[in-house]
Amino acid sequence: MLKALPLNRRGIPSSRIALGCMGLGGGWDREPVTASNMKQGHEALDAALSIGINFFDHADIYTRGKAEKVFGQIFKERPGLRGDILLQSKCGIKLMEPGDISNSFDLSREHILSSVDGTLARLGTEYIDILLLHRPDPLMDPEEVAEALHQLKASGKVRHFGVSNMSAAQIQLLQTYCDEPFIVNQLHMSLSRISWVDAVLSVNRDPWKDITFPEGTMEYCRAGNIQLQAWGPLAQGLFSGRPLEGQPENVVNTAAMVRRLADEKATTPEAIVLAWLMTHPAAIQPVIGTVNPQRIAACAGADQLELSRKEWYELYVTSRGEKLP
């Protein structure tokens, strides 16, 4: 049986799977939201609700704010919906503008506060259930962050806080100054992005290939009842129907194994890929990034599957393409 989410243990009634909304709103341009964009939003929302998803993940930058605008318009058209769902958004990334050489990160007090105000205006809501700090900012002053989060909590604009793409040490630094607990860490984890498992097994060994996941992050989050969320959990369809021409042998073999398990368990490849994450005892919450209603529906039942230890390890070893010691 799958373990309860840390969010649930904190009294937050979240579904086991979340829907990531980065694909809503059209392109990453400054064109207005269209009727077609709104139709897509309604259909994705309905597909998610139909399989029990009540948790929706946004960011201020997604399609340059248009993803949040789509949801804001949906709330206007469907009164009462806001109270039935959980909204998470993120701040801290500044998209490249003309004259800039790159995107940049900004966790200054002023940027956090202005970003949240923008998100609330686009969503047309008075509060965000959870706000994540989107990326580590090398120039971050944790005391400034603490001031911003305190102000957001006191004003009722944000109920809970978390981070994204951060290590245990980075969370610890923030928590030293912040009174409010960080209850989420959203990380890139999937059957194709397995460095979070490799990091556990690489202790006291020569570094394995592709070890970029900070050692101790999984353990820190589990010990602190911090919800681990996985972004990109479907691996962009790599194991559930995407063409595999030119892909390496380990990817082709993993896709074949996923299909075999799906057939044996009378389910979909998407459900197997998600079940591999959710079988882990850390109670990982996948944040699926598709807004295609058919692919959302294909994730139904993933939270009812639990792979055997043998199946879990076979998928992991096949994906990494290298035997364990």
pLDDT surpasses 60 at 220:
yes
Beta strands 93-94; 104-105: pairing state: antiparallel
Q: Exactly one of 62, 177, 220, 313 is catalytic; name it.
A: 62
Structure tokens at 315: 């998928």
Per residue in 57-71, pLDDT (tens digit) is: 999 999 999 999 999
CA atoms within 13 A on the CB side of 67: 25
Q: What is the mean pLDDT of residues 216-229?
A: 96
Confidence of residue 205 (pLDDT cuts 50, 70, 90): low
Percent of the chain with pLDDT over 70: 97
Per residue in 108-167, pLDDT (tens digit) is: 999 999 999 999 999 999 999 999 999 999 999 999 999 999 999 999 999 999 999 999
Q: What is the radius of gyration, based on Cα positions, of the chain?
A: 20
- Helix or strand run (H / E) with residue 184: strand 182-188
CATH topology of domain 6-237+282-291: TIM Barrel (3.20.20)
pLDDT surpasses 90 at 8:
yes
Q: Please say whether the beta carbons of 140 and 93 come within 8 A.
A: no
pLDDT at 214: 80
pLDDT at 210: 52
Q: What is the largest CA-CA distance in the chain?
A: 57
For the question of residue 313 being annotated catalytic, the response is no
Query: Average model confidence (pLDDT) for the chain?
Result: 95
Confidence of residue 206 (pLDDT cuts 50, 70, 90): low
The residue extents of the domains of the chain are 6-237+282-291
Per residue in 32-57, pLDDT (tens digit) is: 999 999 999 999 999 999 999 999 99
pLDDT at 229: 98
Cα separation, 265 vs 282, in Å, equals 23
pLDDT at 1: 73
